[in-house]
Structure 1
């Protein structure tokens, strides 16, 4: 597997930002002679002992930073709080950046999905969840909080549109291709596409965003290649390898966000979301995903999970007292009025509320950009 997808770029240091998440940021701040009050996240400082010995660390916090014993003793004596790295974990609870597909799927090509950090972390989660270890629970909470912090930093100033839909949507289907075209159109309209980060409709939308910088034929070719492994069952390895084949053939695709969870660890994350905020706690993931979709949320056909997301999003819109409710667009009239009659209930909730002017039901994905524009989300019509 070639590391050809964009990963979170190192941040340029803001003098008002008290978080240090890379060696470059550390060197920049330490050159001033003071790390007082800074939070240093998961930075390998084993080669920075000399700098640490001569730097003020009053009220600083070191989260999972590898350091020489002498440096640890010095910074603690200087007033720092040190949370040491935790050996033996398949994940870093103090991470300062979002995941990338290459990190989560490392080892896929040579040894298969079961050896990847993503699969190993899911197994760790299953084991520690069942034994009720409070230390493991604390590590999961720290990890999820660190991921939320990294996600907020990544999305700062972005206009984010969420695309929700069922995980069972097959590659090679007309609906999958439609979801991919939608993701491409939204990305080309200047919006940041965010999904639940899994397979099916979520993968399709992330694929479309990945395809956005390329000529239209790139997406057609990708859809053809992916159709050879339509589902993540029976082989996650084959399913994921097909996605990495697309990325290897056309590196440097457009950015988008995936927000999956190890709670549903039997569902792998998709490889087309270039920035991945993966959580242990599904409730934090669900609420966080919807809360960050400030330019609207599109609901493609889905089952129980998608219905839950519709009303999770509708609830704050219903009680909105200041600002504008988030635009909501439901796609496929027959699905949402007949098969799962969610639309009539949503309309009933919206009656006489400001959110009534911010919801729409459309027949196809091709109508979504115009609907979002009409609802005030800012996508091109």
Structure 2
């Protein structure tokens, strides 16, 4: 067990770490894909090697300390990005949505429109809706027809399967080919975690803030989405994120600006009763700016009309520590609830 005396005397972190705890930048897809060749599955990548290391040393205190230092470094790198591009829109939704589904296409087109409107699109960096968000933003500089063609290509590939290495290899071959064809793509952000085994690297994220601690990753994505959050069709995890975000807004100081919430998929959110429940909470503890839509263009119009301008102006060009203070304040108010 690491004690206070150990800390005062100085602790040496493991020398053979496959990651740099003191890194000063976010990850790129190319860095995390290091070691991969066509035909390989995810385990061949640097990302896969880091995950294996996490699994093997789950109780090693020196390893855990190195991971905490790493996540702090990622926090600072995210703060620098957000200071430069404060109009962040987070997109949440199911990780199981396939490129063959209408919900995937709808989110990809939404992300493209948001990016072209000047927003920085951010996702959880996984599959499904998250992949669609990064894909749409990545292809934002290109014609809409190119995005549709890329979706068709992904739909023709085998779904990524954590238990099937051949399916992983086939999926990666298609996704990597699309990414390389459109480099350098539009700027966007993915915020994944090494908690989930075998989750592929987001091929369409221009910058990746990958964490070891899933709780930091989940709350962080909600908190930096100053310009709003879009909730696409999802499941239990998305439901949690909806009301976690609502709790942040409920505790915003009187007179403070609340970032808008946009729900994409009227049938989904009316049939589950989630939108009605949010409206009820908004009347009790809000109001929260929120809207329900089917069309991506309507979501963009809504978000642009409900921007928390003063908040975004405070974040813009701020020093990283000031950005972290603003993010921490938004998070800590929720914790006090």
Query: Which TM bucket (shorter chain)?
Result: 0.7 to 0.9
Q: Is the 8 A contact 2:111 2:137 kept in 1?
A: yes
Structure having the higher Rg: 1
Q: Is the 8 A contact 2:258 2:308 kept in 1?
A: no
Normalising by structure 2, we get a TM-score of 0.82
- Aligned-partner SS, 2:192: coil
Higher helix share: 2
For 2:116 and 2:158, locate their aligned partners in 1 and report how far apart those are by CA, in whole Å: 26
Say which of 238, 242, 264 aligns to 2:170: 238
For 2:287 and 2:170, locate their aligned partners in 1 and report how far apart those are by CA, in whole Å: 43
* Alignment partner, residue 101 of structure 1: 29
- Aligned-partner SS, 1:298: strand
Q: How does 1:1-381 map to 2 (within 5 A)?
A: 86-110=14-38, 111-129=40-58, 132-158=59-85, 159-233=87-161, 234=164, 235-322=167-254, 323-338=256-271, 340-356=272-288, 358-376=289-307
For 2:96 and 2:16, locate their aligned partners in 1 and report how far apart those are by CA, in whole Å: 34
Shift of 1:308: 1.0
For 2:109 and 2:10, locate their aligned partners in 1 and report how far apart those are by CA, in whole Å: 48
Q: Is the 8 A contact 1:197 1:269 kept in 2?
A: yes
For 1:185 and 1:230, locate their aligned partners in 2 and report how far apart those are by CA, in whole Å: 28
Shift of 1:377: 5.9
- Aligned-partner SS, 2:141: coil
Shift of 1:88: 2.1
Q: Is the 8 A contact 2:158 2:170 kept in 1?
A: no
Q: Is the 8 A contact 1:207 1:273 kept in 2?
A: yes
For 2:285 and 2:304, locate their aligned partners in 1 and report how far apart those are by CA, in whole Å: 20
Q: CA RMSD in A?
A: 2.0
* Alignment partner, residue 324 of structure 2: none
Normalising by structure 1, we get a TM-score of 0.73
CA pair 251-375 structure 1, distance change in 2 beyond 3 A: same
Shift of 1:374: 3.5
For 1:325 and 1:266, locate their aligned partners in 2 and report how far apart those are by CA, in whole Å: 36
Give unpaired runs (5+ residues) of structure 1.
1-80
- Aligned-partner SS, 2:200: coil
Shift of 1:362: 1.6
Q: Is the 8 A contact 2:42 2:198 kept in 1?
A: no
Q: Which moved more, 1:148-157 or 1:187-196?
A: 148-157
User: How far does the alpha carbon of each residue in 1:74-126 deviate from its partner, in whole angstroms, 9 at most, with x for none?
Assistant: xxxxxxx9987743222111111100001111122254321111111111111
- Say how many residue pairs are matched: 294
Shift of 1:330: 1.1
Give unpaired runs (5+ residues) of structure 2.
1-8, 310-337
